[in-house]
Amino acid sequence: MPAAPIPVALAQTGQVAHTVKDLEPAVAFFRDKLGMIHLFTAGQLAFFDCAGTRLMVDALPEAQGNGNSVLYFKVDDIHGSVTTLRGKGVGFEGEPHRIFTHPDGTEEWMAFFKGPEGNLLSLMSQVKPQASACVWRHDREAAIGVRFPADRGRGGRQASWLAGRPANGGSPAERAAVSGPGRYRGRSVRHS
């Protein structure tokens, strides 16, 4: 007897297949160059963990000719990741580039490279909008003990508006947006 129909709610992707002709160079590439965790190999199939999604590298004869989708791997720092992977011999198709800016200022960045058999792969990164350089300058000066003079035109309050900070302390969201270590284009800035 067939099961009764139920509403289907798809969850996260559990596994992605990637077809190759020669398994061993592909395993070495994903494991040694990209640093993915090699879970196991079963015949002509190798499995890797990619932050909870399983990548199946498939060299079975029946998989050949089916084509591949571009695999996009999320990274926090796309520029630093490209530098690291280039150091391991991964050849990129150019520099990381911004492809889109969301209304909230978040930027979508990508950098494309090829696997050992010429399959196109990509790094992707979302870069959140950062506090202004003015805030960073204030944080740096505050770290070395420089104080802003009182703002004579605003009732004697500190010139916090000059540093990009709300004069009244601001909402929790405003304070969070300008607190913490300085950051510039997704990279930490040292306060030295």
Query: What amino acid is encoded at 119 in this protein?
Result: N
- For the domain spanning 70-129, the CATH number is 3.10.180.10
Task: Between 190 and 63, name the one with better pLDDT.
Answer: 63
Q: How far is CA 155 from the centre of its chain?
A: 44
Residue 126 and residue 73: Cα distance in Å, rounded? 12
The maximal CA–CA distance of the chain, rounded, in angstroms, is: 83
Are the folds of 15-69 and 70-129 the same? Answer: yes
Average pLDDT, the chain: 75
77-106, pLDDT tens digit by residue?
999 999 999 999 999 999 999 999 999 999
Q: Does domain 15-69 have CATH number 3.10.180.10?
A: yes
Residue 30 has pLDDT above 70, yes or no: yes
Write out the chain in H/E/C secondary structure: CCCCCCCCCCCCCCEEEEECCCHHHHHHHHHHHCCCEEEEEECCEEEEEECCEEEEEECCHHHCCCCCCCEEEECCCHHHHHHHHHHCCCCECCCCEEEEECCCCCEEEEEEEECCCCCEEEEEEEECCCCCHHHHHHHHHHHCCCCCCECHHHCCCECCCCCCCCCCCCCHHHHHHHCCCCEECCEECCCC
Which of the listed ranges 10-14, 71-75, 128-132 does the model predict with the highest average pLDDT? 71-75
101-138, pLDDT tens digit by residue?
999 999 999 999 999 988 899 999 999 988 544 444 44
Which of the listed ranges 15-29, 52-66, 173-187 does the model predict with the highest average pLDDT? 15-29
pLDDT of residue 97: 95
The arithmetic mean of pLDDT across residues 181-187, rounded, is 41
Residue 67 and residue 47: Cα distance in Å, rounded? 18
Structural domain spans, the chain: 15-69, 70-129, 133-188
Residue 44 has pLDDT above 50, yes or no: yes
pTM of the model: 0.59
pLDDT of residue 144: 52
